[in-house]
Amino acid sequence: MTDTATAPATHRVPEGLPARIQHYIDGGFVDSQDGDTFDVLDPVTNETYVQAAAGKKADIDLAVAAARRAFTEGPWPRMLPRERSRVLHRIADIVESRDARLAELESYDSGLPITQALGQARRAAENFRFFADLIVAQADDAYKVPGKQLNYVNRKPIGVAGLITPWNTPFMLESWKLGPALATGNTVVLKPAEFTPLSASLWAGIFEEAGLPKGVFNLVNGLGEDAGDALVKHPDVPLISFTGESSTGKLIFGNAAPYLKGLSMELGGKSPAIVFADADLDAAIDATIFGVFSLNGERCTAGSRILVQRDVYDDFVERYAAQASRVKVGYPHDPATEVGALVHPEHYAKVMSYVEIGKTEGRLVAGGGRPEGFETGNFVSPTVFADVAPDARIFQEEIFGPVVAITPFDTEEEALALANNTKYGLAAYLWTSDLRRAHNFAQAIEAGMVWLNSNNVRDLRTPFGGVKASGLGHEGGYRSIDFYTDQQAVHITLGEPHNPTFGKYPG
């Protein structure tokens, strides 16, 4: 147990919470067609604090029809890039101006520490600003054969984009999809995670104030098997961008196949952090502590497997465990909190089941249960297991919580084999002072993204995505533009047409 988990006297509930959460379809808030709702829980108390409209196929049909009308008949796809850019910049301005309120609601709804939620709100604004700039700077390709041929490429929005987002950092991840989808002239139907619908409900007012035309943005709440499934299977939705579990990604892949939809799927991860004996251990410990315990460990790129060279292994484990034990667990609204409450009792039960499994698979050196002073709610002490074998479940399976496995290695070859020894391949982190090793090792790692002597610092121009079970396709920068547009090649003959003659002469 950690002595840094001290419970404040009261749990703070934000003022002005909505009485209910509705869908937003064709410019208006509406209930479900069948009137159905679902409970939304406060992760600190696990009590219902609001009910949200539970969307089904009928609600998705209405939302897609509205988005389709806005695409075929409305002004948005036909606006100049600069005009759409102005709207996106206004969206960014509004989000920035309301960052404290957004963070307060996001923290309350998801259990995320308030200081980290504030950072996510600001990143959401930056996502819109980035794609607002990028769409104006976009240059299409042209290929010339002097005197003979000119070829150029038109980029065109595709239509209705179906966006399905997760419950971890939901507002920011929604912006990561909404920004490029809207910038390129598409219309959208957003299906947010059912655990965390609160912050998503704010988009409608933000977009209205920014001047987004009616019907361009639509939102349907609901369960994945109902609303999400209907969105994936809708014949008028040619694009699906999904972030979530790999198992759900497989279902979406299969359900979208008959419609030959464009898919971008950012899925699970079990990312390694490899620490060589020549690394700066102070920096490596700080980064790997943050990399797995920030965002409550509920992050796809978490470095949840730490591989440490045996020369420094014992020292690393001792120091890491001591620092992990000092990580402050607290109520989400407390600015001093570093790990808050997990999002939902179902997820809490899953994470705690892995903690119990870990006690049979490794040496528990920190955490391992509920922190003192938090007898209710979804609180988990930052938990560290050492001496974890590569076939252990806590080494192989995504836990998605504040739980880390540490494993020793001797040689560079062994480290690489351990790093690649999972079905996932999203991110990796490498700590070494050997420049040649760093670049060669990074290239050999089976991961879509690698950070060298660095924490997870994102450049929005770079591709984001994974390999193996961690994803399909990439977004970020021009990769997002590619995903949300069709590229049409136009060919023009500048000289005499080169036409082979068939059937010109009789006989």
Spatial separation of the C-alpha atoms in residues 480 and 128, rounded to whole Å: 13
Spatial separation of the C-alpha atoms in residues 24 and 192, rounded to whole Å: 12
For position 1, what pLDDT does the model report? 40
What's the chain's Rg over C-alpha atoms?
25
- Evaluate whether 253 touches 242 at the Cβ level (below 8 Å): no
For position 497, what pLDDT does the model report? 84
Q: What single letter denotes the amino acid at residue 177?
A: K
- Evaluate whether 407 touches 307 at the Cβ level (below 8 Å): yes
For position 499, what pLDDT does the model report? 84
Other CB atoms closer than 10 Å to residue 190's CB: what's the count?
25
In terms of Cα–Cα distance, which of 55, 447, 475, 71 is closest to 263? 475
| Three-state SS at 498 | coil
Other CB atoms closer than 10 Å to residue 390's CB: what's the count?
16
Spatial separation of the C-alpha atoms in residues 90 and 94, rounded to whole Å: 6
The DSSP element (H or E) to which 29 belongs, if any, is: strand 28-30
For position 507, what pLDDT does the model report? 67
pLDDT average per 10 residues of sequence, the chain (507 residues): 49 94 98 98 97 98 98 98 98 97 97 96 96 94 92 97 97 97 98 97 98 98 98 98 95 96 97 98 98 97 98 98 98 97 98 98 98 95 98 98 98 98 98 98 98 93 95 93 96 88 83
For position 10, what pLDDT does the model report? 73
Cα–Cα distance list, 455 to 289, 304, 382, 449 (Å): 10, 13, 19, 12
Spatial separation of the C-alpha atoms in residues 381 and 341, rounded to whole Å: 10
How many residues make up the chain in this entry? 507
The token pair that represents 389 in the structure block: 């074998």
In terms of Cα–Cα distance, which of 393, 85, 306 is closest to 210? 85
Spatial separation of the C-alpha atoms in residues 272 and 319, rounded to whole Å: 19
In sequence order, the 6+-apart residues with CB closer than 8 A to the CB of 137 are none
Residues 334/339/345/348 CA torsion (nearest 10 deg): -170
> How many CA atoms lie within 13 Å of 181's alpha carbon, on the beta-carbon side?
29
Model-wide pTM > 0.85:
yes
CA angle 452, 423, 459 (to 5 degrees): 35
The token pair that represents 320 in the structure block: 């890491």
Residue holding tokens 């979530």?
244
For position 503, what pLDDT does the model report? 87
Buried b (16+ CB within 10 A) or exposed e, 64-97: bbbbbebbeebebbeeebeebbbbbbbbbbbbbe
For position 315, what pLDDT does the model report? 98
- Evaluate whether 386 touches 431 at the Cβ level (below 8 Å): no
| Three-state SS at 370 | coil
Strands across the sheet with 160-164, in order? 28-30, 23-25, 217-219, 187-191, 160-164, 239-243, 262-266, 471-472
Question: Could you say which of 104, 174, 266, 338 is catalytic?
Answer: 266
In sequence order, the 6+-apart residues with CB closer than 8 A to the CB of 226 are 54, 55, 56, 57
- Evaluate whether 494 touches 149 at the Cβ level (below 8 Å): yes
Catalytic-residue membership of 209: no
Spatial separation of the C-alpha atoms in residues 420 and 424, rounded to whole Å: 8
- Evaluate whether 336 touches 388 at the Cβ level (below 8 Å): no
